[in-house]
Structure formats: C-alpha cells, structure tokens
C-alpha cells in the first residue's frame, strides 16, 4: 500500500472523532470502558502518526503529505493539509502526549468521565489540525475549535478557582485570535489585489510584497494572538491560573501542546509572511524573551505551590524558545523547535508527577512534603531525572536545545547571550531548591510516611517520556535532521525578502524602527 | 377620461396570497368546535408557510436565470434578493409556529388569532422585502408592526406582557411617524415615491437639497428603530422580555430581517448618491450598537433579557456589513440573517422549554446543572450559544467571517476591529449560560420540574441544529444562494 496516497494527515487528525462517536453510545456509569476506548483511540492515533516520521523526506523543505480539496470555493477556502519539518515534530508530540494524558487520568478523574474523554479526544483533533492546516481559515477554525474542549476541561474538572481560570483562558485567547482574524482578512484582500486570485492558502502568502508600515501592523496583530498563546511576558497572566486549576491531563496538554501553537504560529506565519517586520521586531521580542526567562524564574522561586512553580517555569522556558526563534539563524530556530518538544516532554512529566503525589495527599504545597526519597524511591529517581531534564543538564534533552539556542543568540547579539545565560542559572536554582524541599531531607509530615510509590500504570505513563528525554539528550540527530531543510528554507525566506527591500521600503523600515524604539 | 389599468402579474404575489389566505382560513377554522383539540390551527398555518416557501423557493414567479420581474406599475418586484429574504421570513415563521404549539396551550392562548396575526405579520414582512415603492414598503411595515403590537401583549393576564405591548405600540407609532415624515419629505424633494424614480431624480438634479437630506435622516431613524440600532434601541429589552417567548424569538429574527431588507433596498436603490453621508452615520450606529448591546448584556441575569441585548449587538454586526455597500456586503447580510434565524430561534426554543408554564424559569440560576439532567438539550443550547459567539464550526462563525470580510474589503479595518473585539466581549455573557449549565452544581433549594418535549419542539430544535451545523461546516450552497441574491444596482 502506498502510504503517500492515503489522506494520512486527515486520518490522524480526525481519528479521535471515531473514538468520540463510540464513546457517545456507552452508558456513562461504565467509565472504565470509556477510559479504555479513549486510550485505545489515542494509542491507535499515535501509531498511525509514527509512519509520518519515517516516510517524511528530510532532504527537502517542501510541504509533504499534501491534501487539497476545495471547500468553500466562493472564497477560495480549501481543505488543505500538509506538514514540513517544523510541524512534523509537533504533530508527533501531540499524538504522543495525548496517549499519556489519557492514561494519566485513570484514577484522577472518576466523575463525568464520558464528557472528559470526549473533550480530550476532541482537543486532540483540534491540536493536530492546527499543526497540519495549510489554509488560513482551516487553521483559524482548528485554533478556535480547541478553545471549547479546553474551556470545559478546566471549568468542569478543575480545581477550586476553575470557573475564573476557564473564562480567563477563553477570553485571553479569543482576544488574540480575533485580532488574528482581522489580520488574516487584510492579507487575503491584499493578496487578491496583487494576484487577482482569492485564496487563503498559507504558502501563497509567503514573500508577498507588503509595505513596511502594513507589515508592522499585521505583525503586531499576529504577535498579540500568538504571544498570548505562548505566552510571552506581559501576556502570561492567564497561564498560572489555567495550569493550576486544570486537572493533571489538562495541564499536560496545555503545557505540552497548546502553548506550542503560539510559537508554531510565529514560525509558520509571522516570520515567512512578514520578514521585514520580523527583523525589526528582533530586539523587542528578544528583550521580552529575556524578561520572560528571568521573570519566570524569579517568580517560580517564590512559589509555594509545586504546580504553580512548574507553570511559571513554562513562562521561563518559552521565553527562551522565543529568544532562540528570533535569533533568526539555523541553530537558534532548530534549538527553539527542539525546545518546544523538550518543554512538552519535561514539563508534561513534571505535571504528571505532581499529579501523582497530589492524588494521594490532595495538596500541592511544597511545605507539606519533604523527605519523600525515603518513602517513594522510584518516584524520587524519575523526578530527579525530569527535574534535570528541565534544568538542561548535559546528557538529557533540555541541554541540547538550550545549547543550540544559546549558540544562536550569541551569534545574533552577544549581550543578549550573556544576560540570558546568567538568567538560565536561576532555572537551576528554583528547580533544585524545589527538589530539595520536596524530596530530600527528613520526613517532616507524618501523612507522607504512607505515600505509595509509582504504580505500573503511572510508570507506563512516565517511561516513554523518560526514554525520549534520554534519547534526545544523547543522540538528537534524528530529530534535528528532520527539521534541518525546513528551517534553512525558512531563514532563506526571511533573508531573501529582506534583501529585496526597495528603496522606499528601506526608508519606511527605519522610520518604523525609530517609532518602535520610542514606544518601547 | 380613460383609466389605464396597469399590467398585473398575479403570479408574482402567489406566496403572499397564500399566506394571507391561510391567515384568514385559520381565523375561520377555529369557529368550528372540534373534538381533536386546537393543535390543528398551528399545523394548518405551518402548511401555509411551507406551501408559500415552496413556491418562493421554486421561483415560479420570477424569471429564468433569476432576473427581476416587476409588476403593479413597478411598485413590486420579485428578484433573488426578495426571494432570499422571504425564505428567511418563512423559515422564521415556520420555526416560530413549531415552538408555539405547546406554549400557546400552556398559556391558554391557543387561538386562531395568534396564528393569524403571525401570518399577517409574515405577509407584511414579505411586502417589505419585495416593495420597490416607499408606499408599498410602508404598508408592509405597518401590517407587520400592528400584528406585532398585538402579539407582544397576547398573554393578556400577564402584566409584563401588557407593558411590553403598550411600550412597543407607543414607541413604534412614534418611529413610524418619523418614517412617514421621511417618505413625505423625499416625495416633496423628488416628486415620486418609487425607489428608481428617487435615485433617477437625485442623479439628475443638483445634489444636496436640505429637504432630501432631512428626509433621508428621518428614514434612517425610522428603520433604525425597527432594527433596534443604538440609540433607537430603548424599547427592545422591555418588549422582548415581556412578550411571549415564541413572539420574542420571532421578532428578533423575521421582522428584524424584514426591516433590514427594506432598509438596504431603500438606501442602496434610492439613495446611492447620498452614500457619502449615510455611510458615515451607519458606521457610527454600527459601532455604538455592537458595543452597547454587548456591554449591557454582560450584566443581565435574565436569559431572555440577555438575548434581547444580544440581538441588539447582532444588529450592530449586520450594520457593519451595511457600511460596505458592495455586493459582498449585501450577500453577507443575507447569509448572516439566515444563520441568525437558525441560531437565535434555536436558543429561544430552549428558553421556552426551560421556562415552563408561565415563563417562570428564565433566570440564569434555572439553568444550573442542566447538562447533567438533560445532556442533549444542554448540548444544543451550547451549540446555539457558541454560534452566537461566532466560534467555528458553526453558522455564526461563517456569518461573521463573511461580514468582516465585506467590511475589510471596503477598507473599514477599524470598524471590523471594533466588531471582532465585540465578539470577545460577547464571549463572557454567552459563556455565563454555558458555565451555569455545565460547571455549576444545581442548587438543592431550586425545585426542578421535568422538562416537556413535544414532537413539534423537537422538530424545531432539530432543524435549528441542522441549520447551524450545515451553514457552519458546508456553507458553499448557502453562500452561492446569497451571492446570487445581491441587489442589482
């Protein structure tokens, strides 16, 4: 059977809907069966997505596994799917983490399981769709559609302040995406006036001839949309609330996959479509990235709740991710994409492990723990490994991406490099300090003496993540290879378009650059 | 003296004739005492609506290839534009009849007059969509409005319903006065009431006579009242809250669409040369209407009242498309009104189901925990609300996409931005209902009587759900219908 001829991306994207369809007909008290079906659906979906990796041709940057069917022809909207080296790792990360997230809720969520599993599977469809969509409207639809299940996951199965967190999450994201819709439509009509064709196809917008002023405004709109999702420093306030209130699986998906939609948006849309504006925004976004790294780390340091600490660490890690991306060179962007994957793995694992002890003690306060290594040794070892991975200890995955990003940043601007390296030390401090207070030392609370160590199911959740944490750390080549061509092409697109600025554009570029400095 | 009898093509008014005939038929039918109850009155009216819809849909009356057919001395036209609007009205009326059947029985108002008035209002709306003369449009508007005044107060024993009717009548007649003044001034300035005649006169004569502009402004106020644009919206919340729920659903869809149909036709066909003036005014009206409707809706706890404010906000979105007066703008209004009819009547259907006898349960707290008692009903409501918010893949999203495209294409990026930010505001109050249904445990003190679902209600809900999803996921067919229906100007 020829794999290339199957609409494989659609199959991977919409397969979870089959699971939803089956779950729909199961009585709601039979929650074990519902969990099994959800798990098997996600697992099959992951297995279906694995061949994508092997049949992906890493020697070229072009979109692959393309599907293109007219959908709303009057507007030039196509059902258009395809992936390149940038989206491939994210698709795989999504299918992988979805399986783990579903497996992790076996005992954590026992009420209203039916709705929960339907929401999780629906979310999976939305997330994969975002990474595969090559049509702007399709992209936007997937982007918005996944708001609803996430809203339900936080709002129904979340913690005490879930209602507040859920609506905050919804409003923030909706605010950003509504500006994105305006920007998309503006691009659409400009493209029509230039080419005479109505089309929403994303690749067709690459390398358009846009005036500097226009690029500035469009970039700003996309920046707000994606920046809220990432989240970049001043837009991050929804994240701790959403993370802390969401149930474990929700946090894993939120940190592991949803946040990456923002960074992915920058790579897929902002950089190649608005290259000059992107170049002009480098200092601005780099500074915000550095603030994110340092601010996230400092706030984490002050947290008393483990989950909140992990949530703020995401702000720090994604700040680094943005910094690497806007270094605008191969090392930086590759590091940035790898950092997305690594953050998904290590932060996902951290949330899972917090979930495991929370399920037994129903508290996440650091002060309630201490000396766990004596009671639950297996947990301790895995926890240490995950904390090391998150810190970027050599030999584990975090190191590879951090070093790549640092190389990229140093090439771009040596001062940024020096500041962020110092900032990264703070990462080590809060993670190790948290580890020390939770796991090491003497047992201070009697309740902790009876904690149960990781069971087989939980081990099954964590082991695959550990496997990848070590694999990427020791031998990252297979992962980097797949994205190489696409990343290089992306950089060419940005550079090429910057070289062809007209005299006029050049002047405008300086103008808006000056503008932006005064605004800053 | 020889009297010229104008050529009359009766075929062009078959749908209107059918609706009027059935309106009278229903009145007569109820005189005969029957053993089978009075449900048949509703179903008879429904049959009339379906028949009229079939004839309108087939376009038997209009020309091949959808060209416009004029009749009655060019006072009346059947074109794709009017046909599309008529189908929206008939859909709205049909859905309203379906959701009325049980309601009228519960409230003891299951009379022929109720359905008869509904059908007369529908006939009035159809006249507004097809009229090419200010007099015909005015007659249609009055037929519709007077029927609605009565319907708003139809539950005689409920005080709030009486208040609603009286308020609507007083303010409505006042607005009609403005409209009529406007028509009179236009006639004075141009010497004709025919839309074509007016535009012809203005383009020939020197433009900018103060009487003409005054007339246009008065027309704008009159129509602004009927579509409930801010600042002419004051009547809406009280009237919508007090009127019987099926009538509220009806008013927010059909008559509003009818007012838009006439508004568009008058301004685009008769007053295109004044476009420079009215576009700016409508720009401001649109921004105000969206923002004020949405912001006040935020603080409502009464779901019916909340939906009233939401319907003000939606009129604002439609005005956004109005500003971009090109083909795309008109088509997007047609599409949006159709989508809005499905989603809004769907939402009201659920308000009726939950409201129960005497409409006592219309507050947010009556919705708590609905998802765990009636998961499908809650899911349907959730779908309608998401559609009203404009979340894909629903009709509401496609409609908004269409409207915003029209605005941006004509260069109104600022207005489009105000519009999208308004949909963000609207998230909050629509989500409040979803939040109550799904995320709050029902209060133990509140007694929940079981909800009653009649087959008619289920059919209405099914249709609305189908419409919302179909227009959201596979909108192509509807979009091309809307595209063919723009005004030929």
Tens-digit pLDDT profile for residues A376-390 = 889 999 999 999 999
Tallying the residues shown for chain A, one arrives at 520
Task: Indicate the SS3 state at residue A305.
Answer: strand
Tens-digit pLDDT profile for residues A415-447 = 999 999 888 888 889 999 999 888 888 888 887
Chain A residues near residue B431 by CB distance under 8 angstroms: 151, 167, 170
**pLDDT at A509 > cutoff 60:** no
Q: Does B374 touch chain A (CB under 8 A)?
A: no
A162, A181, A189 ranked by CB distance to B409: nearest: A189
C-alpha A397/C-alpha A341 separation (Å) is 9
Q: Which pLDDT value is given to residue B58?
A: 79
For residue A405, name the pLDDT band (cuts at 50, 70, 90). Answer: very high
For residue A26, name the pLDDT band (cuts at 50, 70, 90). Answer: confident
For the segment B184-188, the average pLDDT, to the nearest whole number, is: 91
> Of B189, B266, B163, which Cα lies nearest the Cα of B221?
B266
| Interface list for chain A against chain B, based on CB atoms closer than 8 Å | 71-75, 112, 137, 140-141, 144-145, 147-148, 151-152, 155-156, 162-163, 166-167, 170-171, 174-175, 178-179, 181-182, 185-186, 188-189
Domain that holds residue B209: 10-484
Residues whose CB is less than 8 angstroms from the CB of residue A134 and which lie 6 or more positions away in sequence, other chains included? A63, A66, A68, A80, A81, A82, A201, A202, A203
CB–CB contact B393 A145 (8 Å): yes
Chain A, chain B: beta-carbon pairs less than 8 Å apart:
76
Q: Does B439 touch chain A (CB under 8 A)?
A: yes
Q: B5 in a domain, yes or no?
A: no
Q: Are B413 and A182 in contact (CB under 8 A)?
A: yes
- Of chain B, the percentage scoring pLDDT greater than 70 comes to 95
Would you tell me which residues 450-479 of chain B have a C-beta closer than 8 angstroms to some C-beta of chain A? 475-476, 479
ipTM: 0.91
Chain A residues near residue B421 by CB distance under 8 angstroms: 175, 178
Task: Indicate the SS3 state at residue A442.
Answer: coil
Chain B residues near residue A72 by CB distance under 8 angstroms: 475-476, 479
Tens-digit pLDDT profile for residues A343-393 = 999 999 999 999 888 888 888 888 888 888 888 889 999 999 999 999 888
- Work out the number of other CB atoms within 10 angstroms of the CB of residue B463: 18
Q: Which pLDDT value is given to residue B65?
A: 56
For the segment A6-27, the average pLDDT, to the nearest whole number, is: 89
Tens-digit pLDDT profile for residues A102-141 = 988 888 777 888 889 999 999 999 999 999 999 999 999 9
**pLDDT at A508 > cutoff 50:** no
Q: How close, in Å, is residue B381 to chain A by CA atoms?
A: 14
Return the residue of A nearest to B397 by Cα: A141
CB–CB contact B476 A73 (8 Å): yes
Q: B114 in a domain, yes or no?
A: yes
Q: Is the dihedral of CA B265, B267, B270, B275 positive or negative?
A: negative
CA neighbours closer than 13 Å in the CB half-sphere of residue B418: 22
Which residue's entry shows tokens 């190389």?
Answer: A407
Q: Are A243 and A305 in contact (CB under 8 A)?
A: no
Q: How close, in Å, is residue A118 to chain B by CA atoms?
A: 13
Q: Are A108 and A248 in contact (CB under 8 A)?
A: yes
Task: Indicate the SS3 state at residue B206.
Answer: coil
Chain A residues near residue B480 by CB distance under 8 angstroms: 74
For the segment B432-460, the average pLDDT, to the nearest whole number, is: 82
Return the residue of A nearest to B429 by Cα: A167
Q: Which pLDDT value is given to residue B363?
A: 86
Chain A residues near residue B483 by CB distance under 8 angstroms: 74
For residue A514, name the pLDDT band (cuts at 50, 70, 90). Answer: very low
Q: B4 in a domain, yes or no?
A: no
- Work out the number of other CB atoms within 10 angstroms of the CB of residue B334: 30
Q: Are A16 and A125 in contact (CB under 8 A)?
A: yes
Lowest mean pLDDT among A229-243, A274-288, B66-80, B230-244: B66-80
Q: Which pLDDT value is given to residue A444?
A: 82
CB–CB contact B427 A71 (8 Å): no
Chain B residues near residue A179 by CB distance under 8 angstroms: 417, 420
A145, A152, A171 ranked by CB distance to B392: nearest: A145
Q: Which pLDDT value is given to residue A346?
A: 92
**pLDDT at A2 > cutoff 70:** no
For residue A4, name the pLDDT band (cuts at 50, 70, 90). Answer: low
Tens-digit pLDDT profile for residues B357-416 = 877 888 888 888 888 888 899 999 999 999 999 998 899 999 999 999 999 988 899 999
Q: Which pLDDT value is given to residue A511?
A: 35
Q: B329 in a domain, yes or no?
A: yes
CB–CB contact A74 B476 (8 Å): yes
Q: B469 in a domain, yes or no?
A: yes
Return the residue of B nearest to A145 by Cα: B392
Q: Which pLDDT value is given to residue B446?
A: 61
For the segment B302-306, the average pLDDT, to the nearest whole number, is: 92
Q: Are B229 and B316 in contact (CB under 8 A)?
A: yes
Mutation target to probe the A interface, by most A beta carbons within 10 A, among B317, B387, B400, B408 is B408
Q: How close, in Å, is residue A191 to chain B by CA atoms?
A: 11
C-alpha A361/C-alpha A445 separation (Å) is 11
- Of chain B, the percentage scoring pLDDT greater than 90 comes to 56
Q: B2 in a domain, yes or no?
A: no
A75, A145, A182 ranked by CB distance to B413: nearest: A182
Tens-digit pLDDT profile for residues B81-107 = 888 999 999 999 999 999 998 888 888
> Of B8, B134, B25, B12, which Cα lies nearest the Cα of B62?
B12
> What are the phi and psi torsion angles at B26 (to 5°)?
-65, -40
Q: Which pLDDT value is given to residue A505?
A: 40
Q: Where are the alpha helices (DSSP H) in A376-453?
A: 377-391, 397-412, 414-438
CB–CB contact A178 B479 (8 Å): no
Chain B residues near residue A73 by CB distance under 8 angstroms: 476
DSSP label at residue A133: B
Q: Which pLDDT value is given to residue A75?
A: 87
C-alpha B383/C-alpha B393 separation (Å) is 10
Q: What is the 3-state secondary structure (H, E, C) of A448-493?
A: HHHCCCCCHHHHHHHHHHHHHHHHHHHCCHHHHHHHHHHHHHHHHH
Mutation target to probe the B interface, by most B beta carbons within 10 A, among A75, A135, A180, A183 is A75
- How many distinct structural domains can be found in chain B? 1
Q: B3 in a domain, yes or no?
A: no
Q: How close, in Å, is residue A505 to chain B by CA atoms?
A: 22
**pLDDT at A503 > cutoff 70:** no
Return the residue of A nearest to B484 by Cα: A74
C-alpha B277/C-alpha B288 separation (Å) is 17
For the segment B102-119, the average pLDDT, to the nearest whole number, is: 88
Q: How close, in Å, is residue B176 to chain A by CA atoms?
A: 38
CB–CB contact B413 A186 (8 Å): yes
- Of chain A, the percentage scoring pLDDT greater than 90 comes to 43
**pLDDT at A516 > cutoff 60:** no
Mutation target to probe the B interface, by most B beta carbons within 10 A, among A23, A74, A76 is A74
B387-to-B185, B342, B349, B430 alpha-carbon distances in Å: 42, 10, 15, 10
C-alpha A326/C-alpha A411 separation (Å) is 11
**pLDDT at B160 > cutoff 50:** yes
Q: B40 in a domain, yes or no?
A: yes
Q: Does B428 touch chain A (CB under 8 A)?
A: yes
Output the average pLDDT for chain A. 87
């Amino acid at each position: 059977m020829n794999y290339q001829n199957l609409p494989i991306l659609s199959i991977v994207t919409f397969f979870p809907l089959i699971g939803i369809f089956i779950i729909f007909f199961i009585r709601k008290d039979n929650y074990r069966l519902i969990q099994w079906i959800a798990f098997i659906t996600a697992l099959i979906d992951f297995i279906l997505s694995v061949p994508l990796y092997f049949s992906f041709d890493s020697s070229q940057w072009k979109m692959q596994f393309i599907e293109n069917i007219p959908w709303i022809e009057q507007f030039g909207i196509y059902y258009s799917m395809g992936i390149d080296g940038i989206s491939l790792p994210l698709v795989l990360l999504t299918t992988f983490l979805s399986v783990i997230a579903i497996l992790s809720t076996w005992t954590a969520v026992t009420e209203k399981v039916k709705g929960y599993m339907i929401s999780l599977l629906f979310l999976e469809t939305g997330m994969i769709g975002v990474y595969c969509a090559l049509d702007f409207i399709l992209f936007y639809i997937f982007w918005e559609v996944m708001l609803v299940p996430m809203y339900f996951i936080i709002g129904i199965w979340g913690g005490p302040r879930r209602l507040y967190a859920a609506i905050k999450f919804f409003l923030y994201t909706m605010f950003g995406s509504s500006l994105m819709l305006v920007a998309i439509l503006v691009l659409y009509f400009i493209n029509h006036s230039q080419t005479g064709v109505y089309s929403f196809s994303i690749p067709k917008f690459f390398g358009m001839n846009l005036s500097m002023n226009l690029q500035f405004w469009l970039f700003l709109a996309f920046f707000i949309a994606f920046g809220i999702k990432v989240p970049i420093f001043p837009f991050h306030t929804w994240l701790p609330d959403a993370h802390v209130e969401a149930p474990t699986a929700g946090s894993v998906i939120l940190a592991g996959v949803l946040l990456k939609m923002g960074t992915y948006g920058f790579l897929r849309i902002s950089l190649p479509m608005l290259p000059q504006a992107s170049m002009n925004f480098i200092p601005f976004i780099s500074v915000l990235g550095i603030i994110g790294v340092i601010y996230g780390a400092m706030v984490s340091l002050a947290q008393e709740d483990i989950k909140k600490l992990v949530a703020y660490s995401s702000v720090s890690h994604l700040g680094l991710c943005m910094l690497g991306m806007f270094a605008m060179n191969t090392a930086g962007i590759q590091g940035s994409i790898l950092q997305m994957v690594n953050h998904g793995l290590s932060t996902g694992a951290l949330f899972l492990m917090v979930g495991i002890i929370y399920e037994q003690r129903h508290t996440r306060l650091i002060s309630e723990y201490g000396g766990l290594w004596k009671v639950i040794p297996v947990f301790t070892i895995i926890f240490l490994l995950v904390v090391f991975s998150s810190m970027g200890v050599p030999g584990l995955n975090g190191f590879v991406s951090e070093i790549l990003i640092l190389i990229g940043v140093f090439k771009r601007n040596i001062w940024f490099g020096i500041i962020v390296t110092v900032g990264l030390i703070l990462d080590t401090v809060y993670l190790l300090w948290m580890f020390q207070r939770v796991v090491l030392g003497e047992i201070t609370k009697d309740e902790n003496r009876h904690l149960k160590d990781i069971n087989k199911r939980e081990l099954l959740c964590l082991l695959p993540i550990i496997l990848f944490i070590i694999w990427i750390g020791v031998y990252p080549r297979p992962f980097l290879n797949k994205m190489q061509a696409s990343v290089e092409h992306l950089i060419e697109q940005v550079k090429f378009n910057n070289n062809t600025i007209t005299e006029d554009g050049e002047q405008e570029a300086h103008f808006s650059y000056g503008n932006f400095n005064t605004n800053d | 003296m020889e009297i010229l009898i104008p050529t009359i093509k009766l075929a062009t008014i078959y749908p209107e004739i059918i609706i009027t005939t059935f309106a009278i038929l229903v009145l007569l039918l109820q005189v005969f005492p029957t053993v089978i109850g009075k449900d048949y009155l509703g179903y008879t009216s429904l049959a009339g609506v379906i028949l009229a819809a079939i004839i309108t849909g087939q376009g038997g009356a209009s020309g091949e290839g959808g060209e416009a057919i004029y009749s009655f001395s060019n006072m009346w036209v059947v074109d794709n534009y009017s046909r599309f609007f008529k189908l929206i009205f008939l859909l709205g009326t049909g859905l309203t009849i379906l959701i009325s059947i049980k309601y009228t029985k519960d409230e003891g108002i299951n009379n022929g007059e109720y359905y008869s008035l509904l059908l007369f209002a529908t006939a009035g709306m159809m006249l507004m969509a097809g009229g090419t003369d200010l007099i015909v449009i005015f007659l249609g508007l009055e037929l519709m409005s007077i029927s609605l005044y009565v319907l708003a107060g139809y539950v005689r024993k409920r005080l709030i319903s009486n208040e609603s009717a009286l308020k609507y009548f007083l303010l409505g007649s006042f607005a009609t006065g403005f409209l009529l003044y406007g028509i009179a001034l236009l006639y004075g300035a141009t010497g004709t009431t025919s839309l074509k005649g007016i535009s012809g006169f203005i383009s020939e004569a020197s433009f900018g006579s103060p009487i003409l502009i005054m007339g246009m402004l008065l027309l704008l106020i009159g129509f602004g009242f009927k579509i409930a644009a801010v600042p002419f919206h004051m009547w809406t919340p009280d009237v919508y809250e007090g009127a019987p729920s099926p009538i509220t659903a009806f008013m927010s869809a059909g008559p509003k669409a009818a007012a838009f149909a006439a508004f568009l036709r008058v301004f685009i066909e008769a007053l295109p040369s004044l476009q420079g003036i009215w576009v700016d005014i409508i720009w401001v009206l649109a921004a105000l209407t969206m923002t004020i409707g949405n912001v006040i809706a935020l603080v409502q706890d009464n779901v019916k009242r909340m939906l009233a404010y939401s319907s003000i906000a939606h009129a604002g979105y439609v005005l956004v498309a109005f500003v971009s007066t090109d083909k795309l703008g008109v088509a997007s209004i047609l599409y949006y009104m159709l989508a809005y009819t499905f989603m809004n009547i769907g939402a009201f259907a659920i308000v009726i189901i939950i409201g129960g006898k005497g409409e006592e349960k219309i507050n947010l707290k009556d919705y708590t925990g609905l998802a765990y008692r009636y998961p499908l009903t809650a899911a349907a409501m959730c779908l309608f609300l998401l559609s009203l918010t404009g979340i894909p893949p629903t009709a509401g999203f496609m409609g908004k996409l269409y409207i915003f495209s029209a605005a941006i294409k004509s260069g109104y990026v600022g207005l489009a931005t105000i519009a999208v930010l308004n949909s963000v505001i609207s998230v909050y109050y629509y989500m409040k209902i979803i939040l109550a249904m799904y995320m709050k445990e029902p209060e133990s003190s509140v007694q929940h009587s079981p909800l009653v679902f009649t087959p008619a209600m289920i059919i209405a809900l099914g249709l609305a759900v189908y419409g919302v999803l179909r227009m959201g996921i596979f909108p192509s067919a509807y979009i091309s219908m809307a595209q063919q229906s723009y005004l030929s100007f």
